[in-house]
Each structure stands twice: as C-alpha cells, then as structure tokens.
Amino acid sequence: MRMTFEKDAWYGPQGHEPRLDLTSVSSRDLRWYCFLGAWRIEHGTTDISPPWGWTPLFDAFYTVLYVMEFARTGTERVQVGFTENDERIRLKHRGDDLVLSPTYTQAEITCPTAEFTDAGRDFIQRELGGLVARHPALALNPVVRQLTDEAGLTLAGGTERPGP
C-alpha cells in the first residue's frame, strides 16, 4: 500500500494558503482551499487515485484518519466522501483485510488492515512533516496539532511564533 501527494502545477498556485494566517486557518479552510494536489493511492499495480488531481491535502489526511479508525473498530461497512465533489470510497472488512472501492473507478484495493494503517500513518507523517518544514506557521495551528494527536504522531516545532 502506497499513498503520496503531488502538488498540482495547474491548480496549486491558485490555492489560498498565501493569503491566510496559517497559525489560525480553520479546519474547513484547510480541507477545502489549501495545499491542493494529486493524491495517489496504489497497491501493487492497482491505482484508485482520485482522477481530478486537485484534492486538498488536509482532506486526504482526514480521510486516511477516518479509514484508520474504521479499520481499528471493525465496523462492517462505511463510505468516505470528498469535500470537493460527490465521489466516495466504500470500505468493508473481508477477514483481516480492508477493501477500498471508489465510485469513480472500477478498480478496488484489498490489503491487510495493518498494512493500510501503517501506510496511512506514514503518509500523514511524511506529507505533514514536509508541509510544516515549508510552512513553519502550521506547527502553531491548533487544527494541525489536533490532527497529529489523532494520528498518534509528533510534530516538530510549534512552541514559538515563527519569525519574519
């Protein structure tokens, strides 16, 4: 299981992050308007990546957290949606495996639940760590700090307001 995020060259420069105070930007704004790009979701040769290429990174983070919680609780079947459209990813357990079936493609991924959880945590740690390194003010944002707590991660910095 592999998840990555690539800033979209076409849409990315139109994102709102340069106009916002990243220390206090809301969860809603992070999930709709900031850090837009292509979220890649692959397992082996199967690709269930959203095809529209402008998923907000924080929406991807929250989707991954939701799926990780679903995997942990053993709920039989749920679906997650995207903030920017009506597409969904249906989730179900099949033994010790997790099955992800998007509405926007015929492909589906089946992988061990633990593999998804590890890949999800790695994705959030890697992408959020890189984002905070490029935009240190995010380390002070309560929404970002809560996200790291929910994912069981440690976020560097965040004790002082970044300098000019």
Which SS3 state, helix, strand or coil, does residue 123 take?
helix
Higher pLDDT, 163 or 61: 61
User: In 8-113, at which residue ranges do the beta strands (DSSP E only) sit?
Assistant: 36-43, 46-47, 55-56, 77-81, 88-94, 97-102, 109-112
Is residue 55 within 8 A of residue 72, CB to CB? The reply is no
Q: Minimum mean pLDDT among 3-7, 8-12, 40-44, 131-135: which range?
A: 8-12
Is residue 97 within 8 A of residue 111, CB to CB? The reply is yes
Per residue in 66-93, pLDDT tens? 888 888 887 777 888 776 678 889 999 8
pLDDT-based confidence at 42, cuts 50/70/90?
A: very high
Nearest-angstrom CA–CA distance, 91 and 73:
13
Q: Report pLDDT for 69.
A: 86
CA-based R_g, the chain, Å: 16
Higher pLDDT, 144 or 12: 144
**Average pLDDT rounded to a whole number, residues 130-146:** 92
Q: Nearest Cα to 89, choosing from 26, 34, 39?
A: 39
Per residue in 19-34, pLDDT tens? 778 899 999 888 888 8
Q: Report pLDDT for 157.
A: 57
Q: Report pLDDT for 85.
A: 79
CA distances to 18, 36, 82, 90, 114 from 13, in Å: 9, 9, 21, 31, 36
Q: Which two tokens stand for residue 68?
A: 């990780």
Q: Report pLDDT for 164.
A: 39
Q: Which two tokens stand for residue 130?
A: 């890189």
Q: Report pLDDT for 83.
A: 66
pLDDT-based confidence at 17, cuts 50/70/90?
A: low
Q: Report pLDDT for 108.
A: 95
Question: What does pTM read for this prediction?
Answer: 0.84
Residue-averaged pLDDT of the chain? 84
Token pair 């849409």: residue:
11
